[in-house]
Structure 1
Amino acid sequence: MQYEELGLHQYIARPLSQSGYLEPWPALIHLMERYRERRDALFDAQYLHARVAAYVSMAYQSLLEHTDKKALILVPIHELENLVHHEAGVIGRYLEYRCGIAGRSEVTRAPERYQLLVGVPRTVRSMMERGQIDPASLTCLVVDETHRMLLDDNLYEVLDLLRPHRSERLTYFFSSALSLEMRNLVWKYADHPEEVRPRPSSSILSGVEERVYHLAGHRKLKALEALLRRFPAHDTIVFTGGDEVSQQVAGALLIGGIKNYCVTGDMPRHRGFLLGEPLGASGRVVVVTSESTSRNLHVPAFSMVVNYQMPVSGDSYLYRIRFLEEGAGPLCVSLVSEADAYDYLETELDMERHFPSFPLDELLDGSLRARERRQRGGSGRKRERRRRPPRGRRAEGAQGKGGERRVKREEIVSSRPPLRGKSLEERVAYYQRKYGERF
C-alpha cells in the first residue's frame, strides 16, 4: 500500500518517506481508515508502533482539508509533549502550519498563529478559560495515553468544555489499557466511537528461528550474558518484566563488558528515539521493560529478540517478534524459568503451538560452567582440615594460666553434699550438724 491510496497529501508523504517510513505502517492505516469514514475511535495503543507520527500526519491532513480550523493533541507528560512537537516539525516541514506547545509564552501571546496545539490538560484548560482556544474551531482532537490521565481532573474539565462540539470534529483516544472506566470515558466524550484493537498476524513468524531454554531463575543472567557473547554481531533487544529488573540486567551486562541501553517507563521519552547508532562492533543491546515501553522506539530492525521474561499472551509474543528484521537469520530466544511456567503454558495455549526447546549445555560453554563451579566452591579435591575441639574446653589434663591445674567438673560435682533424693527432714538434719542449730 502506498500513501496515495490512503489519501495522504504529498507534502506529508514526502517527509515521512525521508524520515524512514517508506510505506504506510499499521497505526497510520487504521487511523486514516477511520478518518476517511469520519468516525471517532478508541485505539488499543499497546500494539500500535510509531503512533505519534501517525496521528500527527492525520492532524496535518485534517488541517489541509479544513483551512479555517485547528487541531489539538492532549498528552500526559511534558516529555511526550516535546516529542510530539519535534515530530510535528519534521513531518510538517513542507507545510505552512505551525505547531505550538500550550502554555509557552510565544503561544499564549499569539495563539492565532498556531494551527496545531499540543499540551498537557492543565495548561490547555488554563488557555481555554482565558479564551485562547475556541472549542468550536477544532477539527480533530487526539488524546494520547489516556490510561495515564484517568485520575487527572484537568482532563475531565477540558473534555467537558469540548463536549458540546463533539459531533463537529473527530475525536481519537489512544490507550494501552481498555478498562471499563476507559470505555465509559470515551463513550461520554466521543460521538459513537469505534473500538479498534489491532493484533499482529502470526505470519510474521515465517523465517524466524525460535529457541526456548529451560533453566533455573538464578542462572538467567549468566545464560543471557553467554547468549550475547555467542552472537556478538547481532543487534539485540531484551524484554524484561519491570523497571527494576531492566536496571539490574543492564548494570550486570555493563559490568560484564557488554554495552547496552536501558529503556524504562520513567525515563524521558525523547531518549527512546536516540538509539539509531550501534554501540561499536559488538552490536546494540536494548533492555526494555515491556511492550508498552518499547512501542515508541524508532530504531532499525533487530536481528535477535530475547524474552528474559515470557510474555503473558500470544499477542504479546507476536508483538515482540515484529522487532526482528526481515531476511536470513532472525532469532527469537526465550529463557524460561520456574517463575515463567504459567505464562509459558498460557502463551502456548493461546498460539496453539509448541515452542522448540533446546538443551542448555549448548548455550553455556565450558568456561562459564567452570566459573559457576568456582563460585559454588569447586568440585575438585579439598584439603583435609583438622578438627578443633569445641571452644571453652581443653583436653584432659590440660593446665590453665600460670601452670595451675584446672579442676574438672566431675571433681566439683563429686564434692557436693549427696542430698539428691533426700527428704526435707534429712536435709535439715544435715545442715544442723554442719552449721549448728541456728543455721
Structure 2
Amino acid sequence: MNFENLNLSAPLAQALQEYGYTSLTPIQEQAIPKVLQGQDLLGCAQTGTGKTAAFAIPILERILQNPKNKRQIRVLILTPTRELAIQIGDNFKAYSKHIKISHAVIFGGVNQNKQVNQLKQGVEILIATPGRLLDLMSQGFVRLNGLDTLVLDEADRMLDMGFVHDVKKILTKIPTERQTLFFSATMPQSIRKFAASILTNPAYVEVTPVSSTAETVKQGVYFVDKKEKTPLLINILKDQSTDRTLIFTRTKHGADKLVKQLGKVGIPAAAIHGNKSQNARQRALEDFKSSRLNVLIATDIAARGIDIEELPYVINYELPNVPETYVHRIGRTGRAGAEGVAVSFCDQEELNDFKNIQKLTGIRIEVLSPITA
C-alpha cells in the first residue's frame, strides 16, 4: 500500500513525498486507517518498524481536518527517554514542514526556561518525558484539559524505568473522552493489564518480530564457562582496541559490574540502562557515537532506539532468552550494506537459548576458538 492511497491532505502528502516516503510499512498499513477513524489502538511493535509515522501522520491529518485553538495542547505523546522524545520531535518537524502546526519537546536534565518559553507561546502537540511533564504541570505551565489524543510510546520501557506512577498521575489530569494510542515492543501480562485500564475498545495491531539477520553481519559464538566470559571479553577488546563495540548484558547490575571490571584493566567503558539518569545516558551515547568512547554496555530495553552509523562490533556477553531479541541486537551492526561482526558468548546455562536463536534465524553460527592473552 502506498501513502497516496490514504488520500491525505496535500501539504502533509507533499512533506512525506519530500521525506522519501512511498510505501507503508506493515505497522503503518494496519494502524493509520484505525487512528484516522478515531479508534483507540494497542500496538505491538519495536523501534525501527516505522511506528512513529504510524501515529504521527494520522494525528497531523486529524488536526488538519478539525482545526481548533492553536494555543491549546491537543495531543500529548509520552515517551520514556529524552533521546526518544527528541527523535519523535524530529519526525513531527519533518512531517509538518508545510503545515502550521506547533509542537514542543520537553524532558528533564536540562534547564526548563527554553521549554517554558515554548509552552507560553502555545503548542498543539506536546512530546514529553513523564517526570519533566509533571514538574511543569505542578508549576502551572502545562494544562491538558483540552486534550484530544494521548500516545504512550514504548510502554514496556516506561514501566521498566519506573515511570508507571508518574503516568498514572498524568492520566488523572486529562479528559476521559479522548483517543488513546498505546505502543509497546513486548506484551507481557503487566502491560496488557495497564493498557486495558486506559483504552476503550481498542483495535489491536501487531508487527511480526523479525527473524532474519543481515547478510552483511558475520556471526560467531564462543562456548565458554561463565567465569571465563570477562577474561575473554578483555582479550577481544584489547585485540580490537580501535573499534567501537556495543556489548549486551541481560541485567542493569551486570552492565555496571562489567564497566568496573573493564576499567580495572584500563579499558574505558560506559553503561546505559533504566537506572541511569537521562543526562548520563545521553552523554554515554554521544561519547560513543563520536568515538570518544569505544565500549558501550547496554541492556536490551535501554538499547532500543540506538541508531549508530558504521558500528563494527556487537558482543552478546549474555545471550537473550527471547530469540527475536538476538536479531535486534545484532541488527545494530551491518547496516546500510556495511559489514559488521556479531559475537556471542554462550555458557552451559545458555545452550537452550542458543539453539532457539539458531532455529529462529535458520543459520548455523560459526563456532570460534577463544582468544587467549
**Structure 1 residues 11-410: aligned runs within 5 Å:** 11=15, 32=32, 34-36=34-36, 38-46=38-46, 48=48, 55=55, 59-68=59-68, 70-75=74-79, 80=81, 84=85, 87-88=88-89, 91-92=92-93, 94=97, 96-100=100-104, 101=106, 113-119=122-128, 120=130, 123=134, 132-135=143-146, 138=148, 140-147=149-156, 148=159, 152=165, 155=168, 158=171, 162-163=175-176, 165-166=177-178, 169=179, 171-269=180-278, 271-272=281-282, 274=286, 277-279=289-291, 284-290=294-300, 292-324=301-333, 325-327=335-337, 329-351=339-361, 354-360=364-370, 363-364=371-372, 368=373
Deviation of the 1:255 alpha carbon: 4.0
Deviation of the 1:319 alpha carbon: 1.1
* Matches of 1:65 and 1:130, distance apart in 2: 28
* Matches of 1:73 and 1:157, distance apart in 2: 12
* Matches of 1:130 and 1:306, distance apart in 2: 45
CA 47–82 in structure 1, closer or farther in 2 if over 3 Å, else same: closer
Q: Deviations over 1:371-403 (max 9, x none)?
A: xxxxxxxxxxxxxxxxxxxxxxxxxxxxxxxxx
Q: Deviations over 1:329-350 (max 9, x none)?
A: 4222111123423422343445
Larger mean Cα displacement after TM superposition, 108-117 or 36-45? 108-117
User: The residue matched to 2:367 in structure 1 has which SS?
Assistant: coil
* Matches of 1:295 and 1:53, distance apart in 2: 17
Identity of aligned pairs, percent? 20
CA 246–346 in structure 1, closer or farther in 2 if over 3 Å, else same: same
Deviation of the 1:160 alpha carbon: 8.6
Q: Which runs of 5+ in 1 are unaligned?
A: 369-439
CA 258–132 in structure 1, closer or farther in 2 if over 3 Å, else same: closer
Whether the aligned pair in 2 keeps the contact of 1:208 and 1:331 (CA below 8 Å) is: yes
Deviation of the 1:130 alpha carbon: 11
- Partner AA of 2:102 in structure 1: R
Whether the aligned pair in 2 keeps the contact of 1:85 and 1:99 (CA below 8 Å) is: no
- Partner AA of 1:162 in structure 2: P
* Matches of 1:302 and 1:85, distance apart in 2: 22
- Partner AA of 2:344 in structure 1: S
- Partner AA of 1:332 in structure 2: A
RMSD (Å) for aligned C-alpha atoms: 4.3
Q: Which has the higher contact order (CA 8 A, sep 6+)?
A: 2
Deviation of the 1:208 alpha carbon: 2.6
- Partner AA of 1:68 in structure 2: K
CA 231–32 in structure 1, closer or farther in 2 if over 3 Å, else same: farther
- Partner AA of 1:158 in structure 2: L
Whether the aligned pair in 2 keeps the contact of 1:305 and 1:321 (CA below 8 Å) is: yes
TM-score by length of 1: 0.63
Whether the aligned pair in 2 keeps the contact of 1:51 and 1:296 (CA below 8 Å) is: no
User: The residue matched to 1:97 in structure 2 has which SS?
Assistant: coil
CA 212–56 in structure 1, closer or farther in 2 if over 3 Å, else same: same
CA 81–241 in structure 1, closer or farther in 2 if over 3 Å, else same: closer
Q: Deviations over 1:276-334 (max 9, x none)?
A: 64426xx83321112x1111223224222211101112211111122122436422211
Larger mean Cα displacement after TM superposition, 85-94 or 307-316? 85-94
User: The residue matched to 2:258 in structure 1 has which SS?
Assistant: helix
Deviation of the 1:205 alpha carbon: 3.8
- Partner AA of 2:366 in structure 1: P
Aligned length: 346
Larger radius of gyration: 1
